[in-house]
Every structure is written in C-alpha cells, then in structure tokens.
A and B are shown apart, each in its own frame.
Chain A
Amino acid sequence: MSTENKQFTISIYTENNIGLLNRISAIFQRRHINIESLNTSPSEIDGVSRFTIVVNITESQMKKIQGQIEKQVEVIKAFYHTEEEIIYQESCIFKMRSNLLFDERQIQNIIKESNARIVTVNRDFFVIEKSGRKEEIDLLHRELTVFGIMQFTRSGRIAVTKDEMKISSMLKALQH
C-alpha cells in the first residue's frame, strides 16, 4: 500500500445528530490530520445526512480512519474515494467593485470564459459565482485578484461517485 499522501474524498452517511460533527472531526484532530474541506447536507435518503470530507493522507491511514468513523454509533456507513472515482464540484463567490465592470473590459471576458455567472450588480459592487473543479476556481481567483477582490469565499467540496454506493439497500437491511 502506498505510503504517499493522496487526496481522498470521504462520504459519510449518518443519522442527523447534534454532536456528530464534533465526534467525526475529533477523529481527524486526534491524529493530527488537517481537514481540507468539509460539507454536510441531506443525502438522497430521507432523514439521512451526508458528510463530504477531503483530506490528504496515505491510503493505510485512510482505511484506519474509515474504521474509526464507522465505529461511531450514529454513522451508517463511510466510503472513501480518489479523485478519479468521483464527480465533484466546489463553489465560490467573489464580491468586486462595480466600476471594474466598466473600467476593466477584460473582466467580462474572464467571466464568460470561466463559465462564471454574475449573481447581482448594484451601484457599488457586483457578485460573481462559479462552480467547478478546484483548479478552475483557483484560476478564476488568480485572474480576478489583479483587479482587487472585496470579498471571496469558497465552499467545501461536494461529490458523487461514478460507481454505486450500496447505501440504500444497506439501510433497508438495517431497518428494524
């Protein structure tokens, strides 16, 4: 098994419980592993939440972490995947001064070419939203930085797997 760090996207199906985020993040913290991004949301199954966590660790570490996550009473199942096994998106929002739209014509080209979208424009500022892969967002960020960004924020990764995750059938089997 590779001893090199790789990027893993972890999908965790859980019961919706107040303390669970704490419990799951503690698993990483205790082992001194940095969480690159974390997102929680409802899942495709009613009443089941889904965590999407991105970390850079070795596969052997990843397997152990998966075990520790699944050990938590309110975790239904945890999966981990490499980049190639998933379709993922991140989202980001830029707030910029409105005068740039008129003074710096290439901004409009950047927005068009990067498939970003203007969410709102008013007299003082306008807001650009962009969803995509990490590199695309990085590129857009680099291109816009030169004009001065008033605010920037970026979401955690969300991902679906190319192959099926046998969670629904598993849940049915678990149903008491």
Chain B
Amino acid sequence: MKETQTIQNKAESTATTERISGSEAVIKCLLAEGVETLYGYPGGAIMPVYDELYKYQDQIHHVLTRHEQGATHSAQGYARISGKVGVCMATSGPGATNLITGIADAQIDSTPMVCITGQVGSHLLGSDAFQETDIVGISTPVTKWNCQVTKASQIPEAFAKAFFIARSGRPGPVLIDITKDAQFEEFDFTYQKCKGIRSYKPVPDTDENALKAAAELINAAKKPLVVWGQGVILGKAEEEFKAVIEKAGIPSAWTILGASAIPTAHPLNVGMVGMHGNYAPNVLTNECDVLIAIGMRFDDRVTGNLDTYAKQAKIIHFEIDPAEIDKNVKTDIAVLGNAKTSLKRLLPLVNKNSHNDWHQEFKNLYEIEFEKVIKHDLHPTKEGLTMAEVLKEINIQTKGDAAIVSDVGQHQMIACRYAEFNKTKSNITSGGLGTMGFALPAAIGAKMAAPDREVVMIAGDGGYQMTIQELGTIFQQKVPVKIVVLNNEFLGMVRQWQQLFFDKRYASTEMTNPDFIAIAKGYSIEAKKVTERKDLKTAIKDMIDCEGPYFLEVRVEKEDNVFPMIPTGASVSDIRLE
C-alpha cells in the first residue's frame, strides 16, 4: 500500500525515473493506478510479468482463476460492484482468445476493464509462432480501445491511456498486448497518469437549452414516464436521479442494468421494462405522453417492436454517448452529458408534481400482474418449487441488502424481477451480451471487491456448468460467495421458447446433470440440496449464516415459464401475462 502511494506521488509530482524491466513496469503501472486485485492465468508469453508479480505479492493480489474467461468475468464483477476498473491478465494465443467473451460482455454492458495479454516476441510477430494470435485484431470490435506494445518504453503511456479510457466517459474494456521482448527489455521508467487525449472527449457538453426544453416538456406532461438504465449507476447519479423523480413525481421504470439505482421499495419505482419486465411500465410505455430515458440505450429487449414503441410520446434522452442518440428511437430532445451533472442542473428547472391519477394506472396494472403472475410465482399452490419463492426467501433473509449476481436465462429474469434491492450496484448480471457462465466468476470478483457485502450468486443448471471450474478459485481463495443453483434440468429459457414458438420440440435443452453436491464438496464447499418447499427457509438460513462459501441447489419445477413476456417482434403493450 505504501509503495502505491509513493508511486502515485512520483507520477503526479516529481516523475523521477528508475531503470527497470518492462514487466516490472507493468506492475508499477498497475500500482500507480490503484490496482489491488487482478485476475488471470499465466502462460509462456506473460511469464516475465508473473515473475514480477511474485516479487510484489504483498502489494498486489493476483487471483488465479481456472479459465481466462473466468478472469474476465471476475474482473467485471469486481468493477460492477465497486465502480473501479477491473483488471485481468492472460498469456498469448488461447489465453488471449479466451478473454474475448468477457471483453465483449464488458463492452456491451459498459464495464471498465483493463486486459493485459502477453504476446510472442516482436521478431516472431506474423510468423505463426507458437501461441501467436492477432489478439489486437480479434479484440478490436469488442474493445473501447486496444494497442500492442513492442518496446518497454511504450508501457507507461499505454497503461496510463488504458486506465483513463476504460474508466472515463462511457466506460468499457481496453486491451494491452505486450510482446515478450518488451517485457524483458530494461528502460528508464517514469509514470504519468493520463489526464486527457486530444481526440477523445469522454463527456460531451450539456446544452442548457436542451435542459430547459426537457424541463418544459416534463413540466407540461400529464403522463410522464422515466426509464432509467445503468447510466445512473455508472454516473454515480443515484441521488440526483432520486431528487428529480421525487420532485416531479414521475413513475420510474428500470432496464435490467439500471436495477438497484434506487431501492426496489421506492414508491416511484414501478418495475422493470422489457421482454420479461413488469406489466404496467411496458403497457404504459405506449400510453405515456413524455418518455424520459436516462442513461439507457433502447435495447431491442427493452423496446420490442420499434415501429410501435412509444409512438404517442415525446422522447427525452439523457445520454453520455452521442452515438446512442437516435440510434434506435428517434428523440425529441437529447440531453448529452453525464447523468449526475445533467440531472443536478435539471432539478431546479422541473416543477413539483405528483401525477396521482397516472400513478393509479400503474397500480391498477400491477394488480392485474399480481393476480395473473406474481401471486403464483411468490405464493405457489402447486407442489413444485418456483424460482421466485427462492428469491423471496433470499430477500427476507438478507433484508434486501445482498448483491445478487445472476447468470443468464429464466432464473436471471426471475432474479431481476423479484430481488429486492436497498443499495445501488447490487444487481450484477450480463445484460447486453447474455453470457451464460457469467455469474459464478463475477460473484467471485464482486465478493472480493466488497467483502462486507453479502453476495448471492444465482444461476441455472445450464449456465452454472459453463464456468463451474471456478469453484476451484473459490476453494483456493476462500471467497465466501453464496452459490444458488436453480435446477430445472433444462436450459429453461430456450425450452420456454421451444414450448411457445417451436411446438414443444425440445431440441437439446434437456440436461442430464451430475451430482452438484458431490462436486461442491469436492472443492470443500459446504453444500445442500432442497427439493421440497418445507426445507427452503432453513436451507437459505444455513446458507446465509455460513461464514465460508456455500452451495445450495434448489430443485425447481421443470417446465415453468417466465411471464410476463413480450414475444420477439411484438409491441411492448402486447405483453403476455400467460
């Protein structure tokens, strides 16, 4: 820790030099950027850096994952819960290509991440050398920025830029590929943090006139609806956001990545929009007169058919990334900038309002959804366990303070619909890319970044097995994550689609699963299986009470479906309740 501060001081004030190797410079760059934990997997082309890590293990914690993909998702989980930059490292060739899924995931979900890859010696580049792959070429479309370093002297600038780019503006993943000779080469090291890049404007200016026009529309609206996304969380704008919606009395719905920015129980929180979102905000999207989108990007899973999406409404879009304006939905007023600053400036411009009649419409539709769906999910009368009742029990026993890390599929939709959040940055899931296998390694990163928080991972039996080897990381690092597998012996979401849209032809969705308990126990992780409702409460209590990692398998109803549902290509207001 002391060393970190020394280096930071050096970087910012005197910038003295010392003669060190490229690989030692890598470590010093990481320390100067405040990195305490990184996730990775060694191999030939990155070995010099690992050799330096060995010397610095008292200052920087390297977590050996069981697969490079696990390293990326752990770095993502770390970043998503803490707001810091996640860091991961891999060797050249297969090590580097194994990072790609996580990088693509971080790109589409705007997660700040720095990936470091080793590369064959520069004299071998392009010779199809052992474990050579063009990772800069491969990662280009899925990184915010990337570069190849072939000389040790390029390392400090590359890292300074990488961290600056990853965390500024709309965050995203960056990749630095370092040839082996650059790692060995000695040079005079000095570190200067990056303060700006000529061609890159992280946050566009907020136009006062746009703000005024937005406020005018909001003040005149009879039926305003806010749809917020992760921009509120990434912009650390939770308080400003709450202040605006509370003053203007606007019902507010969230996208999957926006969840937890304000508490689930907040009276203005009307639920999730999108394919498996709540009934009221989806239906009323097509009845509101002003739609105020804040830090969201009108993903197709949110909008359904664009031709029938909120056509009656004026659209206001608060957004940091100018490329998102009019990309999917034509806006009437675009307010560029960081959500925190623009909402702060918006607050005095909006009038106090309550929109009681309009709120009543949300309540009425909620009642319909409750009767048709929620009641049966949370208080089932049939024998089989539902996924939702597991969530309900987790809510009760963690008092809504847990961070929920979900995988991808039916359980994810159920987790997002029913998890109760009190704190921001609590819903960690793969939204845009829909990466099965995300949850287990992401939960590791989340728990390590926020050791004081309860981190509950929820996965299906399919996704869990995609990165199940990360149990080894949990075992070795003793990460006390709580692992819940909702086992329906199916790839449930695909099966649901097969049932609804493919005449129940269940092609390759039925799973013959191993003994998950035995596997967990093989890693010395306490484990329990629940098959009956009467055992659920105690099982979850045991899990939460356990100080170490814990594995809980819950056998849920095999062929349950997630509703409501907007079928692909349908309008948001044609959302089906059954």
Q: Report which A residues bind B (CB closer than 8 A).
A: 14-15, 18-19, 22-23, 26, 30, 63-64, 67-68, 70-71, 73-76, 171, 174-176
Contact = CB atoms under 8 A, between A and B. Distances in A.
B198 interface: yes
Contacts of A75: 199
Contact of A19 (B140, B322, B327): B140
Interface of B: 136-137, 140-141, 144-148, 165, 195-201, 321-327
Given A64-B326, A67-B323, A22 B199 contact: no
A15 B199 CA distance: 7
Contacts of A18: 148
B327 A176 contact: no
B326 A174 contact: no
A36 B327 CA distance: 24
Given A26-B141, A64-B323, A176 B201 contact: no
A76 B325 contact: no
Given A19-B146, A64-B327, A70 B198 contact: no
Given A23-B140, A64-B323, A73-B200, 20 more contacts: A14-B199, A15-B198, A18-B148, A19-B136, A19-B146, A22-B137, A23-B141, A30-B141, A67-B324, A67-B325, A68-B323, A70-B322, A70-B323, A73-B145, A73-B165, A73-B197, A74-B197, A76-B198, A174-B201, A176-B196
Nearest to B141: A26
A60 to B, nearest CB: 8
B140 A71 contact: no
A169 B566 CA distance: 49
B140 A176 contact: no
A71 B323 contact: yes
A93 to B, nearest CB: 30
Contacts of A23: 140-141
27 contacts: A15-B198, A15-B199, A18-B148, A19-B146, A19-B148, A26-B140, A26-B141, A30-B141, A63-B326, A64-B326, A67-B322, A67-B327, A71-B321, A71-B323, A73-B144, A73-B165, A73-B197, A73-B200, A74-B145, A74-B199, A74-B200, A76-B198, A76-B199, A171-B198, A174-B198, A175-B198, A176-B195
Contacts of A76: 198-199
A165 to B, nearest CB: 15
